Amino acid sequence: MERKKYIAPSLLAANFTNLDSELNKLKDANIKYLHYDVMDGHFVPNISFGPAILKQIKKYGFIYDVHLMVSDPKFYAEKFIESGADIITFHYEACNNSKELISYLRKTFPNIKIGISIKPKTDVNAIIDLIELVDLVLVMSVEPGFGGQKFMPMAIEKIKTIRKYILENNLNTLIEVDGGINVETAKYCIDAGVDILVAGTSVFKSDDIKKVCNDMLGE
């Protein structure tokens, strides 16, 4: 059975002077996921959105995919779950004990899906034993912190390794990729085994969001 694949537009690339219109365009294009990047200016050299904005846009009814690029993921996870996150993804590199954090989030917030992310320079084998504990693995195909960067091909082998592990162990864990995703790079990622493509600039700068998303998904 073929896996369903999705686009998760990255809010970082939206026009914030016209946010209502931007989000309604996504609804009109039948977008299910919205990727919400949280940056603290410490783990990455940029600052983005707080929980208040998430709370305000919750009414649009997306699956809110919150990516924590922060040095204190436990603290921020709690704040964003309270504000409406459906998925909380934290960085392996930001956590001293990933298993402990996953266990805490599972027990405290049983209805929230949990993801783990790795930067481009992190060896995929560092998280192999965590894949069965999470709902999603996010492979960064750019250095986290800024939108509009060029796709790093090393992500493809990581995706293939994760997909192989998922299949061999009969897991339901989803694979997500974030960074430099467009029609060309999306195909490489889907062929490698990705379920969710995070795309910012290529979606929000498009004149026809539905078409570009369908093109990226090969539909």
Give the 3-state DSSP-derived string for the chain, with helices as H, strands as E and coil as C.
CCCCCEEEEEHHHCCHHHHHHHHHHHHHCCCCEEEEEEEECCCCCCECCCHHHHHHHHHHCCEEEEEEECCCHHHHHHHHHHCCCCEEEEEHHHCCCHHHHHHHHHHHCCCCEEEEEECCCCCHHHCHHHHHHCCEEEEECCCCCCCCCCCCCHHHHHHHHHHHHHHHCCCCCEEEEECCCCHHHHHHHHHHCCCEEEECHHHHCCCCHHHHHHHHHCC
Catalytic site positions: 37, 178
